Chain A
Amino acid sequence: MPGVAQANIRRRDRFAVLARCELDDLEQQFRTLGLNPEVTFLRPIETGLVMLRGRAGGTGAAFNLGEATVTRASVRLGDGRIGHSVALGRDRKRATLAAVVDALAAEADDEQRIETAIIAPLRQKLAEEDRREAELVAATKVDFFTMVRGEDE
C-alpha cells in the first residue's frame, strides 16, 4: 500500500519538525490558521523517560547510552480527529499544540493546509539554522601539511 507508506513518511516528517521547533514559532504559525478547535486529552499529558541507545563502534551491538526526558500528548478534537505528539524535553504546551496539529492533519483534506501553513515554514526555519551552523563549522576546516623531517633531506 504505497499510499499508506507515503502518509507514514509525511507523518514522520511532521513529527520531526514539531519535535524540534520552538514553541513561539509553532504558536505563531498555528495562529495563521485562525482555528480554535475543541480539544480533549485522550490521556493525561505526561513527562517521562526514553532510554537512548547507541551501537558499539557506531554500527555494532546496541547498548543503552542513557536516558532523556520526553513529553507526550494524545488529543481528540471536537470532530473526533485524534492526534499524538512525542518530543524530547518537558515542554507540555508545545506537546499539546503539536498533538492538535497532528490531529488536524489526520484528515486528508486538511493535511496539505497544515503542511503549507505550519510545517513548511517551521521546516524551512530549522533547515536555515542547520545550514548556518554547518557553514560556520565548514569555515574551521583545516588542511594540515605533513612536514618533511630533516633526516629525509
Chain B
Amino acid sequence: MYVAVKGGEKAIENAHRLLDEKRRGDRRLPALSLEQIAGQLALAVDRVMAEGALYDRELAALAVKQARGDMIEAIFLLRAYRTTLPRFYESLPVDTGAMGIERRISACFKDLPGGQLLGPTFDYTHRLLDPDLTGEEVEPNDLGTAEANDAVMRVSDILAADGMIESEEPLVDEDGVEATPGDMTRRPLSYPLSREQRLQALARGDEGFLLALGYSTQRGYGRNHPFAGEIRIGLVEVEVDLPELGHAVPIGRVRLTECQMVNQFRGSSETPPQFTRGYGLVFGQSERKAMSMALVDRALRARDFGEDVLAPAQDEEFVVSHCDNVQATGFVEHLKLPHYVDFQSELQLIRTLRQEWAEARESDADGDEEFGREAAE
C-alpha cells in the first residue's frame, strides 16, 4: 500500500530544472525543431500518435522532444493532453478501400489489380549502418516516377467477391441503423468484450507487447496459419456529419496502416469452408504494429470459431488488460514512489518471523540434545 508523503519541494524543483537542462543537451548545438522531429523521426512520431490514441503530428513531435525520446513517456504526455480537450464529433468509418496508396503489398497474390507497390520500405535494405548519414546533408536521390494506377483494390475484397473468405458486414439493426461501437475512453471495459471493443484496445496497445503475442501465435501458442493478405499504407479522408449543414463533409486526411491477415478455415453445415480474417488498423506508418494487431485479433476470435482457448494470445482479458503501456508503466513505476510506511510494517513482520524462527530452532536444538543424550544412554 502507498501512503502519501509530503515535503521535498525544493529538491523536486531542482530535479526538474536539471531534467530541462539534460533534455536540452549541449547548448553549442542547435535545438531540435518540431518540424525536424515530425519530418525526420516520422515513424517515432507515428508510434506516439498510435499508442497515444491521438492523431496530431505536431503534438506528438512535441511529446517526443519533451520526453527526450522516451516513447512511453511521450505516449503518456499525449494521452494526458487528450483529456483536456472536448469531443466534438465521431467520424464516419473511414474507407480504406479509397486510400491514397503510399505502399501496398500482398503475400498471397503475385499479380493483383494495382500491383505490388513497395513504397518507402526498409524491406530489402541490407541493414548496414550508412556512413553517409553521419554528416550534415545527403545529396538528394534521383527519384524514379511511373504512371500511377487509379484503383488499388483491397485483396480481402477480391477474396470476398468469390466467397473464399468470411464476409465482413456492418452491424445494423432491423431498421438498418448501424450500431454505435463501444468506446473504452468513455466507459470502462467489462468482459467479455465485443470484437469492436478489442480492436479499439489493440489499436492503442503497446507495439512490443502485441509483437510478442503475435510472434507467440506463430510459434504455436494459438496457431492460426496466417498469410499477410495485404498491407497498405496511405492517406484516407475523414468525414463527419455536421448538424449545421445537414450532411457529411470531409475534414482532412490521416495516414493509416492496414493489415488484413488471411487465416485458415472454418465452415459449417450451412457455410462451405472459408478463410478467416485478422484485422489491424493503426495511425501512421506502422506495419509491424498493424501486422501484430491482425495476428492477435485473429487469435482472440478463437471462441467465435469454436477453437480451444489455450494460449495467452487467445485470452481476451489477459491481452486487453495488459496491452496498454500507459497503464502498465503506471503500475510498474509506482513501485519507485515512497512506500516507507508499508515497508516499515513489512520490516516489523519479518523481524517477528525471524525471531520466531530463531526461538523455534533453539527449542528444537534443545530437544535434539535431549534426544541425543537419551539415545546415548
Q: Do A and B come from one complex?
A: yes
- Say if the beta carbon of B59 comes within 8 Å of chain A: yes
| C-alpha spacing A64/B364, complex, angstroms | 66
Bound-state CA distance A143–B200 (Å) is 36
B249 touches A146 (CB 8 A): no
Determine if A138 and B145 form an interchain contact, defined as CB atoms under 8 angstroms apart: yes
User: CB within 8 A of A141: which of B100, B146, B168?
Assistant: B146
Q: How far is the CA of A101 from the CA of B145 in the complex (A)?
A: 36
Q: Is the C-beta of B39 less than 8 angstroms from some C-beta in chain A?
A: no
Q: Most A CB atoms within 10 A — which of B91, B92, B101, B160?
A: B91
Q: Which chain A positions have C-beta within 8 A of B82?
A: 49, 67
Are the C-beta atoms of B183 and A58 separated by less than 8 Å? no
| Contact assessment for A69 and B54 in the assembled complex, using a CB-CB cutoff below 8 Å | yes
Closest Cβ–Cβ distance, residue B265 to chain A (whole Å): 16
| Other-chain residue from A11, A49, A133, A142 in contact with B100 (beta carbon distance below 8 A) | A133
A53 and B54: CB pair below 8 A? no
B side interface size, CB within 8 A:
85
C-alpha spacing A79/B144, complex, angstroms:
52
Q: B234-278 interface mask toward A, CB cutoff 8 Å, 1 = contact, 0 = none?
A: 000110101011011111111010101000000000000000010
A contact residues around B154 at 8 Å (CB): 58
Chain A nearest CB from B292 CB (Å) reads 16
Q: Which of B109-117, B132-140, B330-338 contacts A (4 or more CB under 8 A)?
A: B109-117
In the assembled complex, the CB of B2 is this many whole angstroms from the nearest CB of chain A, namely 31
Determine whether the beta carbon of A50 is less than 8 Å from that of B91: yes
Query: Roughly how many angstroms separate A140 CA and B156 CA in the complex, as a whole number?
Result: 22
CA distance A121 to B201 in the complex (A): 42
Contact B91 A53 (CB under 8 A): yes
Query: A138 contacts B148, CB within 8 Å?
Result: yes
The reply to whether A86 and B54 form a contact with Cβ atoms under 8 Å apart is no
- In the complex the two chains form, is A131's CB within 8 Å of B118's CB? no
- A68 lies within 8 A of chain B by Cβ: yes
Inter-chain CA distance A11–B249, complex, in Å, is 8
For window 70-92 of B, CB contacts with A under 8 Å fall at: 82, 85-92
Determine, out of A14-22, A28-36, A110-118, the stretch whose residues face the partner at the interface.
Answer: A14-22
Tell yes or no: B181 within 8 A of A by CB.
yes
Interface pair A89/B245, CB less than 8 Å apart: no
Residues of B within 8 A of A46 (CB): 86, 88
* In the complex, A76 has a CB within 8 A of chain B: no
Residue of A nearest to B154 (CB): A58
User: Which of these, A12, A49, A65, A74, contacts B244 with CB under 8 Å?
Assistant: A74
Asked whether B250 lies within 8 Å of A51 as measured between CB atoms, the reply is no
| CB <8 Å contact, B147 and A53 | no
**Shortest CB–CB separation between residue A4 and chain B, in angstroms?**
9
Asked if A139 and B85 sit within 8 Å, CB to CB, the answer is no
Chain A 126-139 against B: per-residue CB contact (8 Å), 1 yes, 0 no? 00001101111111
| A62-B171, A142-B118 known; A51+B103 contact, CB < 8 A | no
Which of B117, B185, B279 is within 8 Å of A57, CB to CB?
B279
Taking CB atoms and an 8 Å cut-off, the chain A residues in 137-153 that contact chain B are: 137-144, 146
Q: Which residues of B contact A52 (CB under 8 A)?
A: 55, 91, 94, 238, 254
From A12, A61, A62, A67, give the contact of B247 (CB < 8 A). A12
Pick from B168, B195, B245, B247: contact of A59, CB under 8 Å: B168
Knowing A72-B88, A86-B249, A135-B146 touch, does A54 contact B100 (C-beta < 8 A)?
Answer: no
Instruction: Kindly provide the distance from the CB of A45 to the nearest chain B CB, expressed in whole angstroms.
Output: 12
Output the nearest chain A residue to B172 by Cβ-Cβ distance: A61
Question: B249 near A16 (CB under 8 angstroms)?
Answer: yes
Distance of A133 Cα from B116 Cα, bound (Å): 16
Q: Check: A81 CB closer than 8 A to any chain B CB.
A: no
Contact B170 A61 (CB under 8 A): yes
Residues of B171-186 contacting chain A, CB below 8 A: 171, 178-185
Given A63-B199, A65-B203, A146-B110, does the pair A88, B147 have CB atoms closer than 8 Å? no
Which 9 residue pairs spanning A and B have beta carbons closest together? A60-B168, A57-B168, A88-B252, A139-B144, A134-B148, A68-B55, A15-B249, A16-B250, A63-B196
Instruction: Return 29 A-B CB contacts under 8 Å, by A number.
Output: A11-B245, A12-B249, A48-B85, A50-B87, A52-B94, A52-B238, A54-B199, A56-B199, A58-B156, A59-B170, A60-B169, A61-B170, A62-B181, A63-B203, A64-B182, A65-B281, A66-B200, A66-B203, A66-B204, A67-B185, A70-B251, A86-B249, A131-B148, A138-B145, A140-B103, A141-B116, A141-B117, A141-B118, A142-B117
Apart from A65-B199, A67-B87, A88-B55, list 15 A-B contacts with CB within 8 A. Answer: A46-B88, A51-B90, A54-B199, A61-B179, A61-B181, A64-B182, A66-B50, A68-B56, A68-B238, A84-B242, A88-B238, A90-B58, A137-B101, A137-B148, A138-B148
- Interface, chain A (partner B; CB < 8 A): 8, 11-12, 15-16, 19-20, 46-70, 72, 74, 84, 86-90, 130-131, 133-144, 146
